[in-house]
Amino acid sequence: MKEEAVSFQDVLEAYRKIRNFVIRTPTYMSVIFSRRTGAEVYLKLESFQPVGSFKIRGAINKICSLSPSELKKGLVASSSGNHGLSVAYAAKIFGVRAVVVVPENAVKEKVEAIEGYGAEVVKYGKDFDEAYSKAIEIQKETKAIFVHAFNDPFVIAGQGTIGLELLEDVPDLDTIIAPVGGGGLISGVAIAAKTLKPNIKIVGVQAEGAPAVYRSWKAGKIVEMASVRTVADGLTSRKPLDLTFNTMRRYVDDILLVTDREIGEAVLALLREAHILAEPSGAASLAALLFRYNPKPKEKVAAIISGANISIDYLASLLRKT
């Protein structure tokens, strides 16, 4: 087994650096979902971070890793969602310039929010991949620091701090369920949690319409999807990359698929029964727990509610159906 790109020490180091900038989010024991599943259910509410998603942890840790001369070059990232928001917010805190490349069809509110944090938004291309290529191009021209959404050891280590907090709050936790887009979150969390408690079970969740990591993990090699389609816009990656894929192969015990309908039901259940707002990607872990994962009685299961940046139109459409 080759040396891991991210160590437990890296996660500890990240925690020390980012804790003044991010929220120590609550690990919320849900009486209602415990009763409903027979498990002891904990919701890790990353929906509550500044900018409404866990992505801020990785973005801040990445910035903290840069030297003053690197910081002067500014940051560049491609994203239409939470990663772009997080880079913009982190750049604002550190007084650094940031350019975020978004596809031309990016959601208006998210673009405005990214601009609201003072980042420059470049609209380019018809999808994320074209925007990504443009961001790489800008990086080469400007020598700005590229902040990858997941395939970066500092980003992975930053997300891993969630694992530290979970096991601090529930030391005898049995299982962690995490949503998987590119795999940065689950990779970091797995490194932290399996070091602290080697027999903890790490379960990933993907959307049925965007199963790139699921298929890659099952196949034992990186599988790229030609296209993906899910309501969970945070889970739309078309393939994992080397850092996250290798970590997931080593540490992830299972990956489950959920349907968009199940995700919608989980969003509604969180809202109705726990008054917690989660975006579709953020509710996917609860969807897996409610509909796909069969916990043992009293099994202590944490579902990472990774973000809250839900589209108002989607929320309204869900409520109309009830």
Residue numbers of the site for its own copies (CB under 8 A)?
23-24, 26, 28-29, 31-32, 35, 45, 47-48, 50, 52, 89, 92, 109, 113, 116-117, 271-272, 274-277, 279, 308-310, 312, 315-316, 319-320, 322
Q: What separation, in Å, do the N-terminal and C-terminal C-alpha atoms of the chain show? A: 50
C-alpha span between 69 and 67 (Å, rounded): 5
Contacts of 73 (CB under 8 A, 6+ apart): 142, 143, 144, 145
In the complex, minimum distance from the CB of residue 275 to its own copies, in angstroms, rounded to a whole number: 4
Measured from the CB atom, is 52 or 240 closer to its own copies? 52
Q: How far is the CB of 43 from its own copies (least distance, A)?
A: 11
> 65, 187, 216, 306: which one is catalytic?
306
Rounded Cα–Cα distance for residues 159 and 54 (Å):
7
Closer CB to its own copies, residue 2 or residue 321? Answer: 321
* Of 55, 110, 197, 300, catalytic: 55
Cα–Cα distance for residue pair 173/166, rounded to 1 Å: 8
Annotation says 306 is catalytic: yes
Q: How far apart (Å, rounded) are the C-alpha atoms in residues 176 and 287?
A: 13
Shortest distance in whole angstroms from residue 186 CB to its own copies? 23
Q: How far is the CB of 282 from its own copies (least distance, A)?
A: 10
**Which residue, 136, 116, 250, 126, is CA-closest to 193?**
250
For the bound state, the minimum distance from the C-beta of residue 179 to its own copies, rounded and expressed in Å, comes to 17
Q: What dihedral angle (degrees, nearest 10) is formed by the CA atoms of 102, 92, 281, 202?
A: 120
Closer to its own copies by Cβ: residue 35 or 229: 35
Distances (CA, A) of 116 to 86, 120, 147, 220, 282: 12, 10, 19, 42, 23
- Of 88 and 213, the one with the shorter C-beta distance to its own copies is 88
In this structure, the number of other CB atoms found within 10 A of the CB of residue 172 comes to 9
Based on CB atoms, which residue is closest to its own copies, 170 or 212? 170
Report the distance separating Cα 304 and Cα 64, nearest Å: 24
Residues with catalytic annotation? 55, 306
